[in-house]
Structure 1
Amino acid sequence: MILITGATGTVGSELSRQLIASGIPVRRMTRKALPDFVQGDFEDPVSLRKAIDGADTIFLLSAPGPWVPDHDRALVAAAIDAGVHRIVKLSAIGSTDQGMPGNWHAAGERAVRESGLAWTILRPTGFASNVLRWLPAVRTGQPIPNQTGDGQHAFIDPADVAAVAAEVLVSGAHDGRVYTLTGPALLSVPDQVAVMSDVFGLALRVVDVPLEVYAEQLRAADLDETVVSVALRGAALIRSGGERTLTNDVEQVLGRPARTFRQWIETHRTLFSST
């Protein structure tokens, strides 16, 4: 039995679909009571332990935010107490067990490593699906905002992240490994928009958004200052060319190359339709 936390999110829902399709027993955890899901709250030890009981393996995913360290530590502690055998943690590219200010995953990675359980850590790059935030601009013909200039990033199809997770959850061959999961090519926002223009047959435009303007927009959205700081640091890192990481870890695990950004766009093109 595999317990999947964050089971309604981008990766968690796709991972659930893939495992269920393979006939693997899955228990999906959410904070709210939903049909066919188990209710569990990282901040409620009793509900967390009930969600874990009977599971042999856990996929650890907590929604991003400053609460991640506490959620990860709580899950690891409950897993140890429940006799779980293996934990696979979804972290993020650039995370280390030493960590840095605003690195929400450092404490959780450390807790997983020191748990005494079998473990694997997955550090994906930004998701190709993040371009869904441009939906209103694409549908209305407005310019697409670009906070990262000509900086490049190896965006990954979240279905590939889920496929890697599915593999490492059921195989001991990946115990004790840290995989940095990237797409197959480095792309800037203008590069992404050029692909979308070609696939959609549209002349999409890009408008540069300076970081100081981006900061004002984030704060106007009433985001926690910690979240604002992390978002700005990530945008600045990509803009400066500091996030040009490419690996073949997806292919190493799955035996096939990671899917391209164009493949993701072609698969999901109907989402961008205005009709």
Structure 2
Amino acid sequence: MILVTGATGTIGGHVARLLTDRGVAFRGMSRNDLPNGVRADFTDPESLATAVAGVEAVFLVTVPPVPSAEHDIALVTAAKAAGVRKIVKLSAIGSGEPFDGTTVGGWHVAAEEAIAASGLAWTVLRPPSFASNFLQYRELIEASDPLPNVFGAARQPVVDPRDVAAVAVEALLDSAHDGRRYDVTGPELLTFNDQAAILERVLGRPVKTVDVDLRGQLASFGMPPEAIEQVSVGAAWASAGGTEYVTEHVSRILGRPASTFEQWARDHRAMFAAMR
């Protein structure tokens, strides 16, 4: 039995589908009711104890309102008490890198360290920007409005979330990945404008961009100041060239090339067309 946290999210949803395809028993965890799932909250220890009961491995993804390791640690505590064997954590590229007097993804590092110190087997996945992030801009594209570019000319190894999920499933099912940290990247380095140009070609309609200030953008969404500060560190690190590298982890683990952004865009073209 595998517990999939964030089962209704981008990566968790793909993990659940892949486990289903392979006939692997799992339960999804959400704060809302799920078919064949469990309702639980990271702030409720009793619900977490119920979620991990009888579980062998956990796919762990947390998105607290303010970046913090508390949710991860709460799950690790419950998992250890329940006799869970392994945790596969979704982290982020660059976590632990020193930058401008601070540390990129410090909350992820604290969670990773807690998992490693728990005595449980573990694998950490550190992906960069997801190709699917462009889905949030469907309405802007439909209105022919420019997409906000907060990364300038920085190049990133944009990854297909389906590849991240596939690597996660392999890590959940194969002990060969125990104790490993993988930077799970796409096969090419792309700027935000590169991605927009590819999407423009795939959709056959204009996709324009405009440079914007990240802090102002996040503040307009109502993000708390302390969260803006932490997220901005990672973005600044990426903008300074921190993400300008690719790895072979996807191809080595899955036995096939990592998907390109264009492949992802073509596979999801109907989701953009549906806005018309």
| 2:111 matches 1:111 | no
The CA deviation at 1:221 is 2.1
Would you say the 8 A contact 1:97–1:106 is kept in 2?
A: no
The CA deviation at 1:192 is 0.5
> 1:43-89, CA deviations, whole angstroms, 9 ceiling, x for partnerless residues?
11111001111001111111254354111111111111111111111
Instruction: Determine the structure 1 residue equivalent to 2:243.
Output: 243
Instruction: Determine the structure 1 residue equivalent to 2:257.
Output: 257
User: Which amino acid letter does the alignment assign opposite residue 250 of structure 2?
Assistant: V
TM-score of the aligned structures, taking structure 1 as reference length: 0.93
How far apart, CA to CA, are the structure 2 residues paired with 1:104 and 1:33? Answer: 28
Instruction: Determine the structure 2 residue equivalent to 1:153.
Output: 156
| 2:231 matches 1:208 | no
The CA deviation at 1:266 is 0.2
Among candidates 158, 163, 167, match of residue 164 of structure 1: 167
Instruction: Determine the structure 1 residue equivalent to 2:47.
Output: 47
Q: Pick which of 33-42 and 146-155 moved more.
A: 33-42
Task: Note the residue ranges of structure 2 that are not aligned, 5 or more in a row.
Answer: none
Among candidates 184, 191, 215, match of residue 194 of structure 2: 191
How far apart, CA to CA, are the structure 2 residues paired with 1:67 and 1:201? Answer: 38
Map 1:42-81 → 2, pairs under 5 A:
42-66=42-66, 68-81=68-81
- Residues 63, 95 of structure 1: alpha-carbon distance in 2 compared, 3 angstrom cutoff: same
> 1:104-129, CA deviations, whole angstroms, 9 ceiling, x for partnerless residues?
21111001111111111111111000
Would you say the 8 A contact 2:32–2:39 is kept in 1?
A: yes
Q: Secondary structure in 1 aligned to 2:28? A: strand
The CA deviation at 1:261 is 0.2
Count matched residues: 272
Would you say the 8 A contact 2:28–2:34 is kept in 1?
A: no
CA RMSD in angstroms comes to 1.8
- Residues 101, 159 of structure 1: alpha-carbon distance in 2 compared, 3 angstrom cutoff: closer
How far apart, CA to CA, are the structure 1 residues paired with 2:177 and 2:108? Answer: 20
Would you say the 8 A contact 2:97–2:103 is kept in 1?
A: no
The CA deviation at 1:203 is 3.0
Would you say the 8 A contact 1:89–1:122 is kept in 2?
A: yes
Q: Secondary structure in 2 aligned to 1:124? A: coil
- Residues 239, 102 of structure 1: alpha-carbon distance in 2 compared, 3 angstrom cutoff: closer
Would you say the 8 A contact 1:91–1:123 is kept in 2?
A: yes
The alignment-based identity, stated in percent, is 45
How far apart, CA to CA, are the structure 1 residues paired with 2:191 and 2:67? Answer: 30
The CA deviation at 1:251 is 1.1
Instruction: Determine the structure 1 residue equivalent to 2:134.
Output: 131
> 1:164-215, CA deviations, whole angstroms, 9 ceiling, x for partnerless residues?
0011101111111111100000000111111011111123222222x3xx32
The CA deviation at 1:102 is 5.4
User: Which amino acid letter does the alignment assign opposite residue 143 of structure 1?
Assistant: P
Would you say the 8 A contact 1:3–1:28 is kept in 2?
A: yes
Task: Note the residue ranges of structure 1 that are not aligned, 5 or more in a row.
Answer: none
How far apart, CA to CA, are the structure 1 residues paired with 2:194 and 2:104? Answer: 30
Would you say the 8 A contact 1:164–1:254 is kept in 2?
A: yes
